Amino acid sequence: MALNWQVATVTALRDETPRVKTLTMFVPGWNAHRPGQHVDIRLTAEDGYQAQRSYSIASAPTDQPLVDLTVERVEGGEVSPFLHDEVIVGDRFEVRGPIGGYFVWDGAAADPLLLVAGGSGVVPLMAIVRHRAQVGSGAPCTLLYSSRTPVDIIYAEELDRLAARGGGLRVIHTLTREQPLGWTGYRRRIDMSMLGEVLAQTGTMAMAFVCGPTPLVEVAATSLVGLGLAPSQVRTERFGPTGA
Amino acid sequence: MSAPPRTFRVQMSDRLVTRGFVGRRGPAERGQRVPPGQYLTSDFPVLSAGPTPRTALDQWTFGIEGLVNQPVSWSWAEFTALLSRDYVVDISCVTKWTKLDTRWHGVSVDTLLEHVELDRKAAFLVAYCDGGYTTNLPIADVVNDQAFVAYGYDGAPLAPEHGGPARLVVPHLYFWKSAKWIRGVRVLARDQPGFWEGFGYHNRGDPWLEERYSGD
């Protein structure tokens, strides 16, 4: 079955952090995605010039035909500055998907989950967190999330709220560059000893999903295997230095 | 009084102009080298589905098996003693980046296949890798110097995150066909989808035809 281009209309825009924005798209007839999947978008200029990019879906499948994309602004990029600075509610572009079938979590399994995020790598993991909450999954879930500074934490309030609900979600932040006064949490990049401590508190994980910049993914995935997870339990998605 | 339901007019067409989008075009000659829907990058993004496998070179072998008269297996020392050469090729990843003039060193698949006699039914192969990754290719897409197994990149040994110690490179197809951490090929009579091909990606993956996903 072909993945056809569909028209997406922007229905809402939300600033998540100074560098990250969420676009809500209305896509009639959208096939519900599996949490973790992404979409391709295509922008067309008046003269027919086109640009395509891939973005992870941030929303849960039950929100369809509304689909949220959370986009980090890449300075000097061709597409993300346009999405940040130019797009207003009512604008339209094309989208096709959902795409990808390995970095996904359906909510059927009750086994514990470990999510490891760096920066905007939290986006596909947020789709998992939201889906898990919406379907009332009993799978214990730990999100270890690395951000530079407190204002760079994407979905900060929603994560706090979901963790406070007592539904088995634990959120552990590490702030690598700047911490608020009185911060008692981690203040360094994710490493093997940090992952060891997290696993010690949560027990053996059935499945780990790691998403972020390549160095973080390399360290986290290698460490998790070193800590006893089978390579097949560790699924990764990398946000390269490009991706503008 | 409640607000009327919000409606959006939707039209399907081959070309939907996005208000205000101009884009950034390169020089016209770029079009000759950058496939449709791709953008140029100068760095080398890393993509893979799982942890980076690390196999010690003294444990490493490369095999050709399946529909061949006699399977063959090379150790690392034997493999790197095979006739090899430098390659300068453009590569395109289905995630939209294209990188020009990448410099590799490796062994042509033609050279590897000279060491076996293919069964006359042989038409496809599946590359198999450390970590369990696989990808399928018609034999016609890897012979006549269209593909090589690389163990050098930019004058240095190929780094593990880029597929070292050795990866397949098939520059005329999307880069998921260029299997990282390759350990051999299985020769088959019938096509058999590999890892991403089983998750909705195109079976062949020609970037100039934009064969990204199944049905493209």
The yes-or-no verdict on residue B6 having pLDDT over 70 is no
Question: CA of A79, closest CA in chain B: separation in Å?
Answer: 7
Q: Which residue of A has its CA nearest to B39?
A: A51
Just give the CATH number of B35-43+58-209.
3.90.420.10
Lowest mean pLDDT, pick from A184-188, A189-193, B21-25, B81-85:
B21-25
Task: Provide the pLDDT confidence category of residue A166 given band limits of 50, 70 and 90.
Answer: confident
pLDDT of residue A158: 98
Tell me the C-alpha to C-alpha distance, in Å, between residue A19 and each of A8, A76, A163, B87, B211: 23, 13, 24, 40, 33
Q: How many whole angstroms from its chain centre is CA B141?
A: 11
Domains of chain A, first to last: 6-99 (2.40.30.10), 113-239 (3.40.50.80)
Q: Do A234 and B41 touch (CB under 8 A)?
A: no
Q: What is the pLDDT of residues B110-139, one digit of tens each?
A: 999 999 999 999 999 999 999 999 999 999
Record the tokens describing residue A137, joined without a space.
Answer: 């999954």
Give the chain A residue nearest B40 (alpha carbons): A242
Q: For A233, phi and psi rounded to 5 degrees?
A: -90, -5
Judged by CB atoms within 8 Å, which residues 150-169 of B form the interface with A? 161
CB contacts < 8 Å between A and B, how many? 134
The H helix count followed by the E strand count for chain B is 3, 11
The pLDDT-based confidence of A239 (bands split at 50, 70, 90) is confident
Q: Which of residues 42-101 of B touch A (CB under 8 A)?
A: 43, 45-53, 95-97
Higher pLDDT, A238 or B209: B209
Per-residue pLDDT at B25? 80
Chain B touched by A244 (CB under 8 Å): yes
Residue A234 reports pLDDT greater than 60: yes
Sequence spans of domains, chain B = 35-43+58-209
pLDDT score, position A225: 95
Q: Say if the Cβ atoms of B132 and A44 lie within 8 Å.
A: no
Residue B30's pLDDT band, with cuts at 50, 70 and 90, is confident
Question: Which of A9, A79, A92, A232 should one mutate to test binding to chain B, selecting the residue with the greatest count of B CBs within 10 A?
Answer: A92
Say if residue B12's pLDDT is above 50: no
Q: Strands, E, within chain A: which ranges?
A: 6-17, 20-26, 38-44, 50-56, 66-72, 92-99, 113-118, 141-147, 169-175, 207-213, 234-239
A218 and chain B: CB distance < 8 Å anywhere?
yes
Alpha-carbon distance values, B141 to A128, A224, B116, B203, B204 (Å)? 38, 37, 18, 12, 9
Distance CA A14, CA B184 (A): 49
Nearest beta carbon to residue A78 from set B39, B43, B195: B39
Rg (CA), chain B: 20
Nearest to B51 among A2, A50, A234 (CB): A234
Split at pLDDT 50, 70, 90, the class of A243 is: very low
Least CA distance to A214: which residue of chain B?
B46
Give me the residue from B8, B22, B48 closest to A9, CB to CB. B8
Question: What pLDDT score was predicted for residue B45?
Answer: 83
Looking at chain A, which residue has its C-alpha nearest residue B17?
A: A44
Per-residue pLDDT for A95 more than 90? yes
Task: Compute the Cα dihedral for B17, B18, B21, B26 and give only its sign.
Answer: negative
Using the predicted structure, report yes or no on whether residue A150 has a pLDDT greater than 70. Answer: yes
CB-CB: which of B16, B49, B161 is closest to A94?
A: B16
Name every chain B residue with its beta carbon within 8 A of the beta carbon of A221. 50-52
Mean pLDDT of the region A84-112: 93
Interface membership of A46 toward B (CB under 8 Å): yes
Bridge partners, B61 (sequence order): B75
| pLDDT tens readout for residues A105-134 | 988 888 899 999 999 999 999 999 999 999
**CB-neighbour burial class of residue A9 (10 A; exposed 0-12, middle 13-18, buried 19+):** middle
Whether pLDDT at A139 is above 80: yes
Beta strands in chain B (DSSP E): 39-40, 61-66, 72-75, 85-92, 97-108, 124-129, 134-138, 148-153, 156-157, 167-169, 182-188
CB of B180 less than 8 A from some CB of A: no
Q: Is the pLDDT of residue B7 over 80?
A: no
- Facing residue for B18 by CB, picked from A93, A102, A232: A93
Nearest to A49 among B16, B25, B212 (CB): B25
B45 contacts in chain A (CB < 8 Å) = 214, 238, 240-243
- Determine whether the interchain pair B50/A78 forms a contact, defined as Cβ–Cβ distance below 8 Å: no
This model of the complex carries an ipTM of 0.89
Strands A66-72 and A20-26: antiparallel
Query: What is the average pLDDT value for chain B, to the nearest integer?
Result: 92
CB atoms closer than 10 angstroms to residue A18? 10
pLDDT per residue as tens digits for the range B138-193: 999 999 999 999 999 999 999 999 999 999 999 999 999 999 999 999 999 999 99
Is residue A50 within 8 A of residue B37, CB to CB? The reply is yes
Percent of chain A at pLDDT exceeding 70:
98
pLDDT at residue number A50? 92
What is the rounded average pLDDT of the residues A54-78? 94
pLDDT for position B29: 65
Selected residue of B9, B10, B14, B21 to mutate for chain A interface (largest A Cβ count, 10 A): B21
* Alpha carbons B57 and B12: distance in angstroms, whole number: 54
Which residue carries 């981690």 as its tokens?
Answer: A186
Least CA distance to A11: which residue of chain B?
B8
Q: Which of A56, A229, A236, A237 to mutate to test the interface with B (most CBs of B within 10 A)?
A: A236
Mean pLDDT of B20-26: 87
B48-76 average pLDDT score: 96
* The pLDDT of residue A241 is above 70: no
Which of the four pLDDT bands, split at 50, 70 and 90, describes residue B102?
very high
Mean pLDDT of chain A: 94
CA atoms within a 13 Å half-sphere pointing along the CA-CB vector of B104: 30
pLDDT of residue B84: 98
- When pLDDT is averaged across residues B62-80 and rounded to a whole number, the result is 98
pLDDT value at residue B101: 96
